[in-house]
Amino acid sequence: MHIHRVLPRSISMIIKTMRIIESSSLLFLLLLLLLIAATLFSLSLGANDTLTLSQPLSDADDRTLISAGSKFVLGFFTPAAGSAGNRYVGIWYNNISEHTPVWIANRDRPVTSRSGRLSLTTNGTLILTDDKSTVFWSSDSPAVPLANPVARLHDEGNFIVADDSGSVAWESFNFPTDTVLPGMKVRLNLTSGQIGNITSWTSDGNPTRGDYVTGFDLDGDPQIFTWKGKKIFWRGGPWNGYIFTGIPEMRSEILHFEFIVEPQAVVFSYSVTDASVISKFTISYAGILQHLLWVEGLQAWKQYGFTPRDECDSVSPCGPNGVCDPGQETIRCTCLQGFQAKNGTNQYLGVWSDGCVRKTTLDCRNKTDGFLQQSSVKLPDTSRATVDWSTSVSQYQCMERCLANCSCTAYASANISTAGGGSGCIIWTTDLTDVRLYQGGLGQDLFVRLAAVDLVLEVEAHERSHKRRAVVIISVAAVASIFLVAGGACGVWRRKKRQKGGNFDEEKEVKEMDLPLYDLGTIVDATGNFSPENKLGQGGFGPVYKGTLGEGKEIAVKRLSKTSAQGAEEFKNEAMLIAKLQHRNLVRLLGCCVQGGERMLIYEYLSNGSLDAFLFDETKSKLLDWPTRFNIIVGIARGLLYLHQDSRFRIIHRDMKAGNVLLDKDMKPKISDFGMARIFGGEESEVNTRRVVGT
């Protein structure tokens, strides 16, 4: 009986187990079929980085191509500040928060609806159309039609059309817009007609070709230029084996540059030594060539170099044979040694367009000429110079070539990356134009040909200068002890005088005001080395720049100009007054920078700028409806009431005007610029001033 009862149970368990296995097998088979179907479907769509004949890119589908390493995206977009209806096909970074296009196909002709469609034709041509088959852009057709063409977005940001054997027919890197990326080869080839210039946008939200073009010119020794229309806007000079002589900022530990010169072509490229660095060179719509790095901590692009950087970077500001020295405070132009002003009257007035001429004519026949070394300069324009890049030509041989040529006016090494002073030879036979000095040992040596008499005079003048300097040093050492002995008594007298209103010791007095002191390096970094693009305006005090501190806080930096009529007194006055004033309708002072001869005031940044920019602008003035105007008037009145009646000190501003009223993002007014302001007594209703000030 016991055996009969156990058997049926065992059979029942076996049957249940078989049913479970059967159902599991069916489930497994179903999952396998789904996986196969999904794989086949994805294959039919093509890889995520690839455009195929059967699968175009449609704006309506919101589909994009993403490079294999997820570094770049290709798709349709509208610029952040652009017209909402304009659609462009472009390439941008995939893993950074700021949408930054680096290449645009149809920059001059946007699609005005979401019906755009990027297709690949059977012969390997890319074509952008809309729903009406209107062609907005197309790539160059291959010379030989491709078999099975595909277009693939690569991790370098390059969009390449090739056949299944890998033969490249077209690539976006050969047709840059406003940006040069690592690995991109920028070419100028006179034989093929390929011109790899980069062209600025028209404005921040409009990628249409703008006014500025940066590229190369092959005349003489090839150089890099920026043109505005047909006029030269900036000259970066020739390549010297390391960098272009007019861009000393190219010296970098993280970047490697390459410039190849061929008989009818040049090729420029660069790479980064650290793969984690995101770098690009861009020409801005204002004509500024910028080197930008992405800073992850700030979630923003940071400018690490730019040109033009100062007035000496404008084209030949000092005329033929003149030298621009950015270290001079006022007149920045001088003549090359051995030269004198061509028009003394004009140059006394600051007009240097006539430049300089030789003091003494060269004497080539008697072979008495020599050379004077001009160090740390941007080499003169080489458009009409002759160049020999041969590494077998030494600097001495270059000098001999110049002496043997009676038309030679100067020489320099073509390549300073080799030992012994460099190799190769550049020879000038015309006036030397667009020469500037660099500080800190940057730049290159230029050897200027002079008549023997001028050479002797210049050398003697140089020696006398050194002797005078030695005498001054000895004299200072001799009398130093006298000043040290007298120092104690003078210190007591100076302290008493300061208590009575004596000289202004900025750093000490700023500390006494209990104001934060900013380091000069911090301000230089925040403003991009006082980049022209960050300049907000100019006043009597000096220029005002926008800056961004390391933590992302935006600031306005008011920099005292060395040539400003306002000086230490106004700086002290403004710092002291605003530090003691707190009101919602007065601009807020964050701190000061007093270092290395610089005096700067650091303010909160007010995004809408000054009131006069709205009042006197036909477009902006329309934004000032009556409620906004009324609130601005009331805000200014409240600020003045606080100054005249409610603050710790009774203050008269003395320079009240629309330009000194700033507007925040909500159009709330704040009174600024207290350099001319003055405190008066609590019982006084009028005060006398010692000078005419204000507006």
Helix residue ranges per DSSP H, 302-357: 344-348
Strand partners, 195: 188
Residues in the chain: 695
Read out DSSP for 416-457? TTSSTT-BSEEEE-S---SEEE-STT-SEEEEEEE-HHHHHH
Q: Pick the closest to residue 127 from 217, 233, 56 (CA basis).
A: 56
Q: Which residues are catalytic?
A: 655
Omega before 308 cis (within 30°)? yes
What whole-number distance in Å separates Cα of residue 678 and Cα of residue 693?
11
Q: Kind and range of the H or E element at 375?
A: strand 370-378
CB 590 within 8 A of CB 555: yes
What whole-number distance in Å separates Cα of residue 398 and Cα of residue 411?
7
Q: Which two tokens stand for residue 610?
A: 């000054």
In the 3-class helix/strand/coil scheme, how is 86-150 assigned residue by residue? CEEEEEEECCCCCCCEEEECCCCCCECCCCCEEEECCCCCEEEECCCCCEEEECCCCCCCCCCCE
**C-alpha 316 chain-centroid distance:** 21
CB 72 within 8 A of CB 153: yes
Angle at 309 between CA 306 and CA 312, to 5 degrees: 145
Q: Pick the closest to residue 248 from 232, 237, 234 (CA basis).
A: 237
Task: Classify residue 407 by its DSSP letter.
Answer: T
What whole-number distance in Å separates Cα of residue 41 and Cα of residue 54?
13
Beta-sheet pairing, 435-437 with 322-324: parallel
Cα 536 to Cα 235, 531, 557, 607: the distances in Å are: 25, 10, 9, 10
Place of tokens 């040290």: 484
589 contacts: CB under 8 Å, gap ≥ 6: 515, 575, 578, 579, 601, 602, 603
What whole-number distance in Å separates Cα of residue 458 and Cα of residue 425?
25
CB 3 within 8 A of CB 11: no
Main-chain phi, psi angles of 627, to 5 degrees:
-60, -40
Cα 72 to Cα 166, 183, 495, 523: the distances in Å are: 21, 14, 65, 33
Helix residue ranges per DSSP H, 414-554: 452-499, 506-512, 520-526
Q: Which two tokens stand for residue 624?
A: 């000032």
Task: Classify residue 651 by its DSSP letter.
Answer: E
Place of tokens 């012994």: 420
Cα 590 to Cα 555, 559, 560, 583: the distances in Å are: 9, 14, 16, 14
What whole-number distance in Å separates Cα of residue 439 and Cα of residue 367?
34
Amino acid at 89: V
What whole-number distance in Å separates Cα of residue 282 and Cα of residue 285?
10
Q: Pick the closest to residue 229 from 282, 287, 143 (CA basis).
A: 287
CB 196 within 8 A of CB 174: yes
Q: Pick the closest to residue 181 from 158, 215, 210 (CA basis).
A: 158
What whole-number distance in Å separates Cα of residue 72 and Cα of residue 100?
10
